[in-house]
Structure 1
Amino acid sequence: MKTRRIGTTDLEVTEISFGAAALGGLYRACPRDQAMETLEAAWASGIRYFDVAPWYGLGLGERTVGDFLRAKPENEYVLSTKVGRLLRPVPTGAVPDYGYVDPLSFDADYDYSYDGIMRSVDFSYARLGLNRIDILYVHDIGGYTHGAAKNAVYLKQLLDSGIRALDELKSSGRIKAFGLGVNEVPVCVDVMRNADIDVILMAGRYTLLDRSAVAELLPLCRRKGTSLVVGGVFNSGILATGAVEGSHFDYMPATPDVLAKVRAMEEIAKRHGVPLAAPALQFPLRDPVVSSVLIGTAKASSLDRNMQLFEPRLPDSIFPEFESQTLVAKPLGTDAVRV
């Protein structure tokens, strides 16, 4: 599989990458043998970039991915994990419901400070059982997760000392790149105005349907040499399932307006003889600022099905036809989020 560079670093990642949230039991249990089968299918497909986080299954995702990669040649893969949450043990059966089924017996506390990031990295090494982490993402900082008041505190933590920790980890060679792992644009702009980062893992905001990242973030990334890794390309599933009953957009039931736009997109894809999921998967990679598209699943069959959407590459002439149906964000500071 082709690779692309991360920012201005020497690190290269495959154009399709694997996200391990589902392996942590997101919404449904993922038995170990099923997880390993899925990871093996990803490897067999040519994927060599794997992303995980302490949050996924409260440590379960890191343990699973680490066990898998430990048997692979260490110079053949790229691994990213995340900082910003510190796990602490809790009694069996007392784990809060965060949407993970059968997670490990931990809870999570937010900490974006120098000390919190350094501790998080050491804990991740232990869970992974590996001696190398290539990319660190600051996970879920922003008002979307925390609300404005709490996020102001966490953002100050990050800018006052957390960035210094990430700089030290990179300059010492313990990591090769760092950035943000979020699903909102404003916090990326806030951080990039105050610090240099290599990459942003952005979920759901640069897709065939949702173009929230276009107005402010993509131009800023180009100016500063920051790459995007794009997750959530199906926008919580609706670009894969189509506008069917019960379909979701942005983790919520799709609104009538979104359903109408997706139906129109389905008709465009149908005219070209392809499922809507194919242009949805391929769309972000048309921009050179995008280094990889992240796909996540807990089933080998789903992984294989998604990989079939990646090739053959669709002609560029198809994509402008979708423009009239997109949700386009206005620049930051305007009174509307989407029009």
Structure 2
Amino acid sequence: MIDLPRWGLGAAALGNLFTVVPDETARATVDACWDAGVRYVDTAPHYGVGLSEERVGAALRDRPRSEFVLQTKVGRLLVAGPGTGRDTDGFDVPDTRVRQLDFSAAGVRRSVEESLERLGLDRIDVALVHDPDDHLDEARAGAFPELLRMREEGLLRGVGAGMNETAPLTAFVEEFDLDVVLVAGRYHLLDASAADGLFPAAQRAGTAVVLGGVFASGLLASPEPPPDATYRYAPAPPEFLDRARRTAAVAREHGTTLPALAVQAAGAHPAVASVLLGMRSPEEVRRNAELFVQDVPPAVWDALRREDLLPAGMVVPGEGDA
């Protein structure tokens, strides 16, 4: 199993996810991560149609290469776009480049080569097949075997997959010798469904699980969830908003915060190797770094269980080591 740091930077926001992040702020964010001890960075060609990779590479290029783990993804090649408008897939960037889905063996090798060019680095540590939801057979036949060959050739240290859905990830873990799986939005204080099948399969296979979306795309990110909070990138349903607010109230009663509970619960399961947090400013980096060391009294977890506010399958701090 590849050794991953406890937490890392999810660099989608540095590709101008939803809103523009100025170049200098993106650089300062990566620098703040380094100062906070973050040594694991996850990016992808999809994020800002290459912008995230370019910014991450520029910020890490002068850092000691042996001291950080760099992860990117395959499955989307970048080709010339019309250059007449803006990206239509959630990133505030011009459409001078567009994505071309390609989960073939040749596409995967080309994707890694082009990512290295954008990053300006000599190697990528981990490459993940990125959201092959509608291309599972192509990924099985092309992407995964090719990544495994590249690992054998010494071009990659680790290979795996990154998705939102747990069923295909579980199947991939059982079918291929994967080092890492990244699952987003399926293990947090409102939904621990990844613990049902994926986590046991990963533990049996010796595959490291990395979590994204532990703030449930915003609902768990504030000490008091606002009325316009989002869940799964949409307005939070009333029942989830109420549950998050009740959890936040229990946190306050015990002298801690909802975001601290979110990150510390996410990393407590023994299958979880690392937690990725999306950050777009140095202030967010410093705030999130504090969440991992914030004092969370054990009594808060007991209180949440009594109130039936923890999802089935959730392992809280102290339980994973038992």
Q: How does the TM-score come out when normalised to structure 1?
A: 0.87
CA contact (8 A) 1:17 1:295 kept: yes
- For residue 317 of structure 1, report the CA deviation from its aligned partner: 4.6
Are 2:147 and 1:134 equivalent residues in the alignment?
A: no
Identity %: 37
- For residue 67 of structure 1, report the CA deviation from its aligned partner: 0.7
The residue aligned with 1:16 is: 7
- For residue 306 of structure 1, report the CA deviation from its aligned partner: 1.1
Are 2:197 and 1:206 equivalent residues in the alignment?
A: no
Deviations 1:10-58 (A, max 9, x none): x322211011111110011111111011111000000011111001110
- For residue 194 of structure 1, report the CA deviation from its aligned partner: 2.1
Structure 2: which amino acid aligns with 1:307?
Answer: A
Select which of 261, 266, 273 maps to 1:291.
273
Q: Secondary structure at the match of 2:161?
A: strand
The residue aligned with 2:319 is: none
Distance in 1 (CA, whole Å) between partners of 2:75 and 2:217 is 23
Distance in 2 (CA, whole Å) between partners of 1:203 and 1:222 is 18
The residue aligned with 2:309 is: 325
CA contact (8 A) 2:12 2:48 kept: yes
- For residue 186 of structure 1, report the CA deviation from its aligned partner: 1.4
Runs of 4+ in 1 over 6 A off after TM superposition: none
Kindly tell me the number of residue pairs found equivalent between the two proteins.
Answer: 310
The residue aligned with 1:36 is: 27
Distance in 1 (CA, whole Å) between partners of 2:105 and 2:144 is 7
Matches within 5 A, 1:249-264: 249-264=231-246
Deviations 1:61-93 (A, max 9, x none): 011101111111111111000001111011222
CA contact (8 A) 2:85 2:94 kept: no
The 1:63/1:103 distance shift into structure 2, 3 A limit, reads: farther
The residue aligned with 1:119 is: 110
- For residue 316 of structure 1, report the CA deviation from its aligned partner: 4.4
CA contact (8 A) 2:184 2:211 kept: yes
Matches within 5 A, 1:117-266: 117-142=108-133, 151=134, 154-241=135-222, 242-266=224-248
Are 2:58 and 1:67 equivalent residues in the alignment?
A: yes
Distance in 1 (CA, whole Å) between partners of 2:8 and 2:95 is 25
- For residue 270 of structure 1, report the CA deviation from its aligned partner: 1.1
Unaligned runs of 5+ in 1: 1-7, 143-150, 330-339
Distance in 1 (CA, whole Å) between partners of 2:112 and 2:39 is 21
Q: How does the TM-score come out when normalised to structure 2?
A: 0.92
The residue aligned with 1:333 is: none
